[in-house]
Structure 1
Amino acid sequence: MIFMTESTPEIHKKNAKKSFSFALITVSTSRYEKYGDSVSPDEAEDLSGKAMKELLEAAGNNVSFYRLVPDEKNTLLNAISDALDSSADIVITSGGTGLAPKDLTIESVTPLFEKEIPGFGELFRYKSLEDIGTSVILTRASAGVIKGKAVFCLPGSPNAVKLALSEIIIPEAGHIVRHVRE
């Protein structure tokens, strides 16, 4: 007689919360210079922020925090601090992850990680390979845990945020939050 049982990952996901609150931070000097302290992705004509918000809400989640900041370390760190202090379960930054001298998101945020989530960046690059080919080596997408919350640093392109959210972050949110809070 063969017994079918759920695998361990399925059990973890089955018992995880299904809806979460997200904080979104868009890092873009040019957009910030044009729109300033916008309170929504729509107001800032932020296509990546809008895509994230729509995907999260369509999946039954809530976006409780949005901030547009320039590529400037102290301003970004202040926004991260505010997002961590908010009701958000998960924080996502978009932009500033490239190799240009002005791209400072990774250098600013990763030193704050209490624990890194290296599998996120690895899986994101693997999934991006089909879309962008070997230029995937230029992305420094990263994730970690700060003050009991998962923080994801994504590239600024709408396609990148759609891929990260729809194929990785949203499906794994419950599992991640549960482990971060244990």
Structure 2
Amino acid sequence: MTDRPFVPVRIAVLTVSDTRSLAEDRSGDTLVARIEAAGHILAARNILPDERAQIADQLRAWCADPEVDVVISTGGTGLTGRDVTVEAHRDVYEKEIDAFGTVFTHVSMAKIGTSAVQSRATGGVARGTYLFALPGSPGACKDAWDEILVKQLDYRHMPCNFVEIMPRLDEHLRRK
């Protein structure tokens, strides 16, 4: 850390599940608690079924909302036929953050061994908004937040972080 000031970011949380309600959303609750404990702002929260078009539409809506800087989804990243969150994210991405999935796999290997290969966690950018898709377990959400996102979403983290380049994410959309 440096003597840079903390810069809170506005984060939306999307839980993808055919069965969970807000009252049963332990993974979403885990993310919300960590987001708020870190000093960030919960900008929005929603639960949607494992439907690719609905997920992509919600991601696009949040990317178009100037009150949302980051979207974190949980659920639907596995290998079963209903797991379509990764595909929905990729429908929206302008750029994929390839190393996010790699680093998440590395973190997961330390916790769950080779079962980490079953996760398709991913990250990307669209319309100046960061998007991350995490597995649907509270443990995976804790690992992704505690080991990766809490640091990369903190302007004070050095040598670099996502927050410091946030103003330039959509520079290609602005007139020269």
Q: Say whether the fold is shared (TM-score over 0.5).
A: yes
Q: Helix, strand or coil: the match of 2:140? A: helix
1:108 equivalent in alignment to 2:88: yes
CA deviation string 1:27-66 (max 9, x = no partner): 00111xxx4xxxxxxx432000000000110111110100
1:83 Cα deviation (Å)?
1.8
Could you list the runs of 5+ residues in structure 1 that have no partner in the other structure? 1-9, 36-42
Q: Which residue of 2 aligns with 1:133?
A: 113
Give the counterpart of 2:7 among 18, 30, 37.
18
Q: Which residue of 2 aligns with 1:80?
A: 59
Q: Helix, strand or coil: the match of 1:163? A: helix
TM-score norm. by structure 2 comes to: 0.85
Give the 4+ runs in structure 1 shifted more than 4 A: 13-17
Could you list the runs of 5+ residues in structure 2 that have no partner in the other structure? 156-160, 169-176
% same residue: 35
The alignment covers a number of residue pairs equal to 161
CA distance in 1, matches of 2:79, 2:3: 39
Q: Which has the larger radius of gyration?
A: 1
CA 1:73–1:169 in structure 2 vs 1: closer, same or farther (change >3 Å)?
same
Q: How does 1:12-161 map to 2 (within 5 A)?
A: 15=4, 17-31=6-20, 35=21, 43-86=22-65, 87-161=67-141
- State the superposition RMSD in angstroms: 1.6
TM-score norm. by structure 1 comes to: 0.83
Q: Which residue of 2 aligns with 1:7?
A: none
